Structure 1
Amino acid sequence: MSALAHALAEEGRFDDIFTQVARLQAERDAARAQVTALQEANNRAVEEIRAARHGSDHLRERICALALALNPPDFQPRTDLFVQACFGAEIAADRLERGDRAAEEFFEMLQAAGYPRERLPSIIAYVWSRPVGELHQEVGGVMVTLAAFCQAHGLDMHEEGEVELARVWTKIETIRAKHAAKPTGSTLPQLWPVAEGETYVPAGQLDRDIGILLAQIDWLAECSGEGPEGEDAALIAQIRSDHEARMAGIHASGEA
Structure 2
Amino acid sequence: MRARSGPQESSLTIRDIARLAGVSAATVSRVVNRDARVSTAKRGAVMAVIEQVHYQPSVVAQWLARGTSHAFGVLTEDLASDFYGQALKGIEAGLRNSGYHPIFASGAQPAEADAAIELLMRNRISALIAVGFFREESLRELARKLPFVNVGPRIAGLEDRCAVADNAGGAYEATRHLIALGHRRIVHIAGPSSHQHSADRVLGFNKALQEARIKSDVRLIVEGDFEAASGARAVESLLRRRIAFTAVFAANDPMAYGAMHTLFV
Task: Compute the TM-score of the two structures, normalised by the length of structure 2.
Answer: 0.19
Larger Rg: 1
Structure number with higher helix proportion: 1
Answer 1 or 2: higher relative contact order, Cα 8 Å, separation at least 6: 1
